[in-house]
Structure 1
């Protein structure tokens, strides 16, 4: 029998406006009801900047933990600036906020990484931090190319800090870059520590995230080529007319897929 894996529900799966209006805790409670193991807090969905202050994050993290969930802290900040330099300030702030929340992972976008990782500085920032740094492939050309991620992990190894961070592999986001996710899974699988699960429908600017079909052979093949033990995040929208039923269904399905 295949061992079940941890499933995380990303807050945005409940609808971005619903999260901004109702707050993260409401949807963390729905995540708990669905049987998930974790909940991803999205910084961009806070209704007020005060929600990102340490006392508010600590209070939210405490309530999430009381629900029996662990958390991911996701921020739209990029690890590298558009000119390829390490964005040390964004890293510091993101890590501090994630620590206040009590998150297991802090997730940033890659940004404009070019050649030098500045790995020693990243290692110093993470040295005493009880949270794991992961970077995600995004939908934009900057921070979303396969070559950038291959280059990043090569640079980290070259600079002597191969394990200083891991990757959030977003299966659906590769479609925005015209990359088959199975082609990306091979060279990046060794670095993947968290998976965002979704597919994409539509074309060009009219492309949207969607739930994988039960018989989607390509999606299943991608999962088969990524580490089995790492958590899987649901980042596709639930049906607003039956959120609890939809969430529970997809948690159970993805845990066993």
Structure 2
């Protein structure tokens, strides 16, 4: 089971910890499919799985069966839609399709990148778009809607994310945030400053260490110093916030390694 505590409602018991299927590498997923790794995740002690839209085969349409496979393993499901939420003053064209896919999966949450949310967009057009989004979210099977800081200046910096989340508040739209700890390094932002500004919106953490090679950041298994730094972020998030592994899981003893990494993230306290 996966829960999403808010600042006003703390989670009881240990936090939910998931694994993004991308952590196992694109080649393994391409060969075996995302459903094939679900028993491994259950055995390793994961509470859920993040299904990645970009790793589904071309033309894939059996969302119900994939959702049932997750349920059979008692794994909560978060859907990474791999699409933008906004395009200027309008909702992105693929949004409704991805929301419907998330319903068919039985996902507890669906994650988008922000896309383009410029400050000079038409207020009336944007108000209409927020109303349309609210109507979609009123559907009883629609999961929690999350927007993630990505690795772009449009969707990965604090100002546009803060603006969109504040506007969602004003429009009465239940939009929350996936806070990707590592992605801030791709845009040269300070994760702690971002947590201070955006922490009240956060319901889901993407956890990945970062190493620099030839001046470029790369996802990695977090070392002890990085985990200490992450602990400093936690005070700005809801107690027991849900978190996920989104860094490479590679080891000759993959099951034990995955279990150990899940336990490391479970030990982080807000």
TM-score (norm 1): 0.91
In 2: Cα distance, 1:204 partner to 1:226 partner: 33
Moved more, 217-226 or 185-194: 217-226
The structural deviation recorded for 1:48 is 2.7
Asked whether the equivalents of residues 58 and 101 of structure 1 are also in contact (C-alpha less than 8 Å), the reply is yes
Task: Report how many aligned residue pairs link the two structures.
Answer: 248
2:68 paired residue among 62, 68, 81 = 62
Report the Cα distance in structure 1 between the residues aligned to 2:217 and 2:94, rounded to whole angstroms: 29
Instruction: Pick the aligned partner of 1:75 from 77, 81, 84.
Output: 81
Name the structure 1 match of 2:245: 234
**1:34 alignment counterpart:** 44
Cα distance in structure 1, aligned partners of 2:225 and 2:235: 14
Taking the aligned partners of 1:48 and 1:157, their CA distance within structure 2 comes to 36
Q: How far is the alpha carbon of 1:211 from its aligned partner?
A: 1.9
C-alpha contact 2:209 2:219 (8 A) present in aligned 1: yes
Contact 1:212 1:219 in 2 (8 A): no
- Match of 1:16? 26
Structure 1 consecutive aligned stretches of length 4 or more whose deviation exceeds 4 Å: none
**1:241 counterpart SS class:** coil
Structure 1: which 5+ runs fail to align? none
> How far is the alpha carbon of 1:206 from its aligned partner?
3.1
- Compute the displacement of 1:202 (Å): 0.7
Q: 2:175 aligns with which of 146, 165, 171?
A: 165
**Corresponding position of 1:254:** 265
Asked if the contact 1:21/1:47 (under 8 Å) is kept, the reply is no
Specify the alignment match of 2:167 in structure 1: 155
Offset of 1:3 from its aligned partner? 4.2
Distance in 2 separating the partners of 1:215 and 1:58: 41
Displacement of 1:204 after TM fit? 7.1
SS in 1 for 2:252: helix
Cα distance, 1:223 vs structure 2: 2.5
Determine the C-alpha separation between the residues in 2 that align with 1:228 and 1:22.
36
Task: Give 2:111's aligned residue.
Answer: 107
How far 1:203 moved relative to its partner?
5.2
User: In the alignment, which residue of structure 2 is the partner of 1:7?
Assistant: 17
Provide the alpha-carbon RMSD of the alignment.
Answer: 1.7
Shift of 1:226: 1.7
Cα distance per residue 1:203-248 (max 9 Å; x no partner): 5773211122134321221123222222101000012423211110
Q: Distance in 2 between matches of 1:227 and 1:204?
A: 36
Higher mean C-alpha displacement, 244-253 vs 168-177: 244-253
| d(CA) in 2 for partners of 1:181, 1:156 | 22
User: Partners in 2 of 1:93 and 1:84 — Cα distance?
Assistant: 19
What corresponds to 2:96 in structure 1? 92
Gaps of 5+ in 2: 1-11
